[in-house]
Amino acid sequence: MATPLFLLAPPRSYTSLINAMVGQHPQAFGLPELNLFNIKKIKDLWRPVSHEIGGDSNRRHGLLRTVAEVYAGEQTPATITMALHWAAVREDMPTEDVYHELVDKIDPLITVEKSPAYTISMKRLTRIFETFPDARFIHLVRHPIPQSKSVKNLNDGIFAFFFNAFEFEDNRLIVDPQIIWHDININILNFLDMVPMDQQIRMRGEDFMEYPEENLAVICRWLKIRDDDEAIELMLHPEQSPFACFGPINALFGNDPNFLRGPVFRRHSPNVPTLDEPLPWRSDGKGLRSEVVELAQEFGYM
């Protein structure tokens, strides 16, 4: 059985794009967000969990679209209905077993997935490793200032509220998304401490955007799959993924809507600010916290 690959990163860290790119390799299969390690049984995807990140009905769209594509070869309202029946038959199965079934079905291709909600909980991350002890992990990092700014702008900063990314100062409540950047990356690092070094790799998203061929080749060699020009060229076209668009009306999402609206890769040199700049989402002129600066420096930011 091919060993799955998981991308681990805080939200807004290029994960949707890079997941789709790696998944376009001829020996891989890029998945939408399955969210299976957030729950114990399939039927839990249909239970209201509004207190959790990704706790609305959209969280099951990725699974339904995957089942439709893998078992029927297309995503239509009819095949999504088929996927609903598929899930109903398995409603009491542990999600680990369901994930194994999908990986077996897709084999010999390598499944590639990123579900951001995995990274908010060590318990969820540990379940991945217990289910797939040979799994490989890409820790994808992005500079804390543009990543935090993007999180702050995402749905009016709702992710920050779910994550309790607040600071109290002078009887004021300040939403500060750098807390998310720090705490999720710490979760990932703590988890990867238990993963053998040859099963993990860290990459900076900004480097990937500027030098995609070189970074894709690094991933290919690490995975021991083809790294020839033809394979790399296929990976430069994430828009060709069957999941790089909105789905049928009964399963529209499964990924970041911004990515679904514009999944084409555009090579560019992202703005990488210095770590001592004032934060654009704060009106008090404060900069990054010392623990955020220290961790960012560990990732190679200056």
Q: Where are the domains of the chain?
A: 5-298
Instruction: Please tell me the distance from the alpha carbon of residue 24 to that of residue 168, in angstroms, as a whole number.
Output: 45
Per-residue pLDDT, 290: 97
pLDDT of residue 14 exceeding 60? yes
Taking the CB of residue 86, how many other CB atoms lie within 10 A of it? 20
Query: What are the tens digits of pLDDT across the range 44-72?
Result: 998 876 544 444 668 999 999 999 999 99
Least confident range of 73-87, 201-215, 217-231, 276-290: 276-290
pLDDT of residue 159 exceeding 80? no
Work out the percent of the chain whose per-residue pLDDT is above 70. Answer: 94
Is 5-298 a domain of CATH 2.40.70.10?
no
Quick one: tokens of 295? 């961790």
Task: Give Cα 18 to chain centroid, integer Å.
Answer: 9
pLDDT of residue 161 exceeding 90? no
Instruction: Please tell me the distance from the alpha carbon of residue 121 to that of residue 183, in angstroms, as a whole number.
Output: 10
Query: What are the tens digits of pLDDT across the range 233-255?
Result: 999 999 999 999 999 999 999 99
Q: Phi and psi for 98 in degrees, rounded to 5?
A: -65, -40
User: CB under 8 Å to 77, separation ≥6 — which residues?
Assistant: 248, 249, 250
Rounded to 10 deg, the angle between the 212-223 and 15-23 helix axes is 60
Instruction: Please tell me the distance from the alpha carbon of residue 139 to that of residue 123, in angstroms, as a whole number.
Output: 17
Per-residue pLDDT, 54: 45
- The predicted model gives 182-188 an average pLDDT of 97
* 110 to 56, 135, 277, 287: CA distances (angstroms): 28, 10, 41, 41
Q: In angstroms, what is the C-alpha Rg of the chain?
A: 19
Rounded to 10 deg, the angle between the 144-153 and 178-192 helix axes is 120
- The predicted model gives 219-227 an average pLDDT of 98
Helix (H) or strand (E) holding 110: strand 110-113
Per-residue pLDDT, 56: 61
The whole-chain average pLDDT of the chain stands at 93
- The predicted model gives 120-127 an average pLDDT of 96
